[in-house]
Chains A and B, each alone.
Chain A
Amino acid sequence: MITGRFFAAGADRRIAITIFILLAAAIIVPLLNLAVSPASAFYVPSYIVALTGKYLCYALLALALDLVWGYCGILSLGHGAFFALGGYAMGMYLMRQIGSRGVYGNPLLPDFMVFLNYKELPWFWYGFDHFWFAAIMVLAVPGLLAFVFGWFAFRSRVTGVYLSIITQAMTYALLLAFFRNDMGFGGNNGLTDFKDILGFNVQADATRSALFAASAVTLALAVFVTWAIVGSKYGKLLMAVRDAESRTRFLGWRAENVKLFAFTVSAVMAGIAGALYVPQVGIINPGEFEPSNSIEVVVWAAVGGRGTIVGPIIGALLVNAGKSWFTGVLPEFWLFALGGLFVAVTLFLPKGIVGMWDAWRGNARALRAASIAEEAGTDPDVPAPPKIVRSAARTPGEWSTSGPEPQPAE
Chain B
Amino acid sequence: MRGNFSTITKMVSAGMVAAGLLMSVQARAADDTIKVGILHSLSGTMAISETTLKDVMLMLIEQQNAKGGLLGKKLEAVVVDPASNWPLFAEKARELISKDKVAAVFGGWTSVSRKSVLPVFSELNSILFYPVQYEGEESERNVFYTGAAPNQQAIPAVDYLMSEDGGSVKRWVLEGTDYVYPRTTNKILEAYLKAKGVAAEDIMVNYTPFGFSDWQTEVSAIKKFGSAGKKTAVVSTVNGDANVPFYKELGNQGIKAEDIPVMAFSVGEEELAGLDTAPLVGHLAAWNYFESVDTPENKKFIADWQKFIKNDKRTTNDPMEAHYIGFNMWVKAVEKAGTTDPDKVIDAMIGVSVPNLTGGYSTMMPNHHITKPVLIGEIQADGQFETVSQTPGLVMGDEWSDYLPDSKDLISDWRAPLSCGNFNVATGKCGGKGTN
Contact = CB atoms under 8 A, between A and B. Distances in A.
Direct contact of A and B (CB under 8 A): yes
Interface of A: 45-47, 50-51, 54, 100-107, 111-112, 114-117, 176, 179-181, 187-190, 192-194, 203, 281-283, 285, 287, 324, 327-335, 337
Contact of A327 (B88, B118, B433): B88
Contacts of A192: 112, 115-116, 118-119
B298 to A, nearest CB: 28
Given A100-B431, A105-B424, A193-B119, 18 more contacts: A45-B99, A47-B99, A54-B91, A100-B434, A104-B407, A104-B432, A105-B422, A116-B183, A181-B178, A181-B207, A188-B210, A282-B120, A285-B116, A287-B86, A327-B88, A328-B95, A334-B81, A335-B43
B398 to A, nearest CB: 14
B199 interface: no
A181 B2 CA distance: 40
B12 interface: yes
Interface in B407-426: 407, 410, 421-422, 424
Contact of B180 (A101, A189, A333, A334): A189
Nearest to A190: B112
22 contacts: A100-B431, A104-B407, A106-B406, A107-B434, A107-B435, A179-B209, A180-B207, A188-B178, A188-B180, A194-B119, A203-B123, A282-B87, A282-B116, A283-B90, A283-B115, A324-B91, A327-B82, A328-B81, A330-B11, A332-B42, A332-B81, A335-B43
Interface string B263-307: 000000000000000000000000000000000000000000000
B138 interface: yes
Given A188-B111, A283-B86, A331-B80, A50 B94 contact: yes
A148 B396 CA distance: 54
A328 B92 contact: yes
Contacts of B86: 190, 283, 285, 287
Contact of A106 (B94, B138, B432): B432
Contacts of B422: 103-105
A48 B336 CA distance: 35
A96 to B, nearest CB: 16
Contact of A115 (B110, B210, B404, B434): B404
B222 interface: no
Contacts of A193: 115, 118-119
Interface residues of B, number: 61
Contact of A47 (B2, B94, B116): B94
A317 to B, nearest CB: 15
A335 B230 CA distance: 52
A179 B179 contact: yes
A45 B42 CA distance: 27
B115 A102 contact: no
A112 B180 contact: yes
Contacts of A179: 178-179, 209-210
B178 A187 contact: yes
Given A54-B91, A107-B435, A328-B80, A114 B180 contact: no
B85 interface: yes
B259 to A, nearest CB: 31
A114 B138 CA distance: 13
Given A103-B137, A117-B405, A334-B81, A329 B179 contact: no
Given A287-B85, A327-B83, A189 B112 contact: yes
A54 B95 CA distance: 14
Contacts of B187: 115-117
